[in-house]
């Protein structure tokens, strides 16, 4: 085991992807000489050359459009969108072309393309740098949408995404880039969970808390805090947002009888709404309380000095857990 930050674990995972497949390449703004804004691609252009780690123009639509063409020619592009709020110029390419090409060709064409997106807030950034647009992509058929929560998952999941024959939208929680964890960099992917499976991070018996990305660490901390009050929280890291691992979700909710869904994105129309609807439909007779959601209020992301009041935190999660026991 090696202790790595999430950013370094992703770097090592990308290195493995480039080493294992000569058709894999990385594209994006400042990914080469600079190594990316968060240094996730640091050193890769030096080791693999400018033909495989490509500094692109400042044009997200052009990055994804070019990558689609490369994927159709047999390459496996891994594109970086520098910040979450910058993905929208490429949104048409992603939802109109990338997501639909395999279906409309009846499977004769495939687009093995990864779109890496640092997402979420908590870093004191300026406007358009702290968005959580995952529900827009999870709503679009034809895309795999995943979010890593820590270094070990990031290392494995980015390699699995690079091997997928389906397009993958890969969300990275930017405020967790500097969190450290033990990573098995020599063990390969033999022991890694499949890309579409959720993980029971903290076993529990009283209430299920579902989360992903930047909220995984916060919910794990909530489980520790709640245990001091005699409540046992089961924390499930969803990992895959489309498709959802409903088998793991339903099994946990049927065991605990209560559920809280936590995400940074706004509550209105967020992924939590879809999850709550599915749980209510499939686990109705197991529920002791309504499925509750914790997320951001339905406003644009605020100036950085106010983001602590906007983002879900330990207190808001514990308050929702308390309310789940009040019905």
> Taking the CB of residue 128, how many other CB atoms lie within 10 A of it?
13
Whether the ω angle into residue 214 lies within 30 degrees of 0, i.e. cis, is: no
Alpha helices in the chain (DSSP H): 6-20, 44-48, 60-72, 91-92, 101-104, 134-138, 151-163, 215-227, 246-256, 271-282, 307-310, 314-324
What phi and psi values does residue 120 have, to the nearest 5 degrees? Answer: 90, 175
For residue 55, give the 3-state DSSP assignment. Answer: strand
Beta bridge partners of 260: 209, 292
- Concatenated DSSP letters for 167-196? -EEEEEEGGGTT-EEEE-SSSTTTTSPPTT
In eight-state DSSP terms, residue 285 is: G
Dist CA 13 CA 156 (whole Å): 7
Q: Which residues are catalytic?
A: 129
Beta bridge partners of 24: 76
Look at the alpha carbons of 304, 307, 309, 314 in this order and tell me if their dihedral is positive or negative.
negative
What phi and psi values does residue 153 have, to the nearest 5 degrees? Answer: -65, -40
R_g of the chain computed on alpha carbons: 19
In eight-state DSSP terms, residue 76 is: E
Largest CA distance in the chain: 60
């Amino acid at each position: 085991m090696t202790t790595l930050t999430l950013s370094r674990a992703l770097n090592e995972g990308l290195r493995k992807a480039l080493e294992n497949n000569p058709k894999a390449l990385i594209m994006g703004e400042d990914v080469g000489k600079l190594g990316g804004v968060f240094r996730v691609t640091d050193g890769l252009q030096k080791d693999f050359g400018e033909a495989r780690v490509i500094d692109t123009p400042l044009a997200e639509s052009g990055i994804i459009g070019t990558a689609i063409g490369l994927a159709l020619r047999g390459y496996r592009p891994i594109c970086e969108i520098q910040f979450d709020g910058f993905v929208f110029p490429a949104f048409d390419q992603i939802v109109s072309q990338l997501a639909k090409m395999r279906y409309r060709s009846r499977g004769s064409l495939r687009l093995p393309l990864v779109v890496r997106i640092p997402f979420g807030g908590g870093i004191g950034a300026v406007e358009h740098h702290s968005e959580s647009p995952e529900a827009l992509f999870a709503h679009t058929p034809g895309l795999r949408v995943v979010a890593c929560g820590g270094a070990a998952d990031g290392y494995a999941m980015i390699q699995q995404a690079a091997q997928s024959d389906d397009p993958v939208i890969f969300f990275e929680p930017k405020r967790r880039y500097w969190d450290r964890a033990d990573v098995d960099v020599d063990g390969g992917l033999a022991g890694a969970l499949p890309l579409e499976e959720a993980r029971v991070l903290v076993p529990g018996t009283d209430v299920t808390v579902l989360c992903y990305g930047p909220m995984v660490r916060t919910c794990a901390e909530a489980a520790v805090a709640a245990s001091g009050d005699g409540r046992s929280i089961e924390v499930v890291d969803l990992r895959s947002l489309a498709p959802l691992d409903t088998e793991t979700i339903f099994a946990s909710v049927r065991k605990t009888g209560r559920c809280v869904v936590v995400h940074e994105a706004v509550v209105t129309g967020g992924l939590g709404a879809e999850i709550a609807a599915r749980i209510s439909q499939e686990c109705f007779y197991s529920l002791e309380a309504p499925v509750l959601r914790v997320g951001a209020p339905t406003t644009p992301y605020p100036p950085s000095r106010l983001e602590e009041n906007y983002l879900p935190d330990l207190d808001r999660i514990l308050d929702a857990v308390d309310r789940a026991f009040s019905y």
